[in-house]
């Protein structure tokens, strides 16, 4: 096996071992032991736990982009928004590190940073597109930004983890209901909400 092929195999073994652990409590020494490689090999691929979490979450980010793409071709803006939020919540519950990657990118490492940052940018573009369409169609209130919506999904994720899996659909329903445009709801324009979102996302 060539050195390059050996390195690729080692990286995959490390990632495979890491997936069997709680991503919120990863220890590189434990991963090295479970992957059957030396700790130096782990550090060469992932010098910090944050770098490893990023690598684990790239696939989930790509799947979240695909969810936004599916929402974009859904004819009904209301179903598109609900379906996208459902997918986003599912992915965050499946991948315990996804929230950190989405909300704390400033602390990431350069190992997979570029790939992760690009995928994260596409995710937030998807949030903005789905939300802006729903606002234009009068489905949801206009004073909510894409960044705020993403954080609300994180809040529901936390609530489900603190409670029980059976809480998931009820809490998602509450979130969607809270977004609905009701009489007397502030009607900030989508452009203003988008500008606020862009400023928050930086």
pLDDT at res. 105: 53
CATH topology of domain 1-46: Arc Repressor Mutant, subunit A (1.10.10)
Among residues 202, 152, 151, 142, the alpha carbon closest in space to that of 175 is found at 152
- The 10 Å Cβ neighbour count of residue 85 is 24
State residue 113's pLDDT score.
Answer: 65
Position 181 scores a pLDDT of 79
Predicted local distance difference test score (pLDDT) of residue 4: 78
Predicted local distance difference test score (pLDDT) of residue 3: 58
Q: Give the right CATH number for 49-201 from 1.10.760.10, 3.90.580.10, 1.10.357.10, 1.10.10.10.
A: 1.10.357.10
Taken as a whole, the chain contains a residue count of 202
Q: How far is the C-alpha of 38 from the C-alpha of 65, rounded, in Å?
A: 35
pLDDT score of 114: 73
* C-alpha–C-alpha distance, residues 26 and 188, integer Å: 43
Task: To the nearest 10°, report the CA torsion of 137, 141, 145, 146.
Answer: -50
Structural domain spans, the chain: 1-46, 49-201
Please list the rounded mean pLDDT of every run of 10 residues in the chain (202 residues). Answer: 77 90 86 94 89 83 92 95 96 86 61 72 92 95 94 95 95 96 54 48 48
């Amino acid at each position: 096996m060539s050195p390059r092929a050996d390195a690729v195999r080692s990286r995959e073994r490390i990632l495979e071992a890491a997936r069997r652990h709680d991503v919120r409590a990863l220890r590189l020494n434990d991963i090295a032991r479970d992957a059957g490689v030396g700790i130096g090999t782990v550090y060469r691929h992932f010098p910090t736990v944050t770098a490893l979490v990023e690598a684990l979450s790239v696939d989930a980010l790509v799947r979240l982009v695909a969810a936004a793409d599916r929402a974009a071709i859904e004819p009904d803006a209301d179903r598109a928004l609900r379906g996208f939020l459902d997918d986003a919540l599912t992915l965050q519950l499946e991948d315990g590190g996804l929230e950190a990657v989405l909300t704390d990118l400033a602390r990431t490492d350069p190992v997979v940073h570029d790939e992760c940052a690009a995928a994260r940018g596409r995710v937030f573009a998807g949030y903005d597109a789905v939300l802006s369409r729903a606002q234009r169609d009068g489905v949801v209130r206009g004073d909510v930004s894409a960044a705020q919506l993403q954080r609300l999904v994180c809040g529901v994720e936390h609530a489900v983890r603190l409670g029980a899996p059976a809480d998931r659909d009820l809490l998602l329903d509450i979130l969607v209901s809270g977004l609905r445009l009701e009489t007397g709801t502030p009607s900030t324009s989508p452009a203003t909400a988008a500008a606020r979102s862009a400023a928050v996302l930086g």
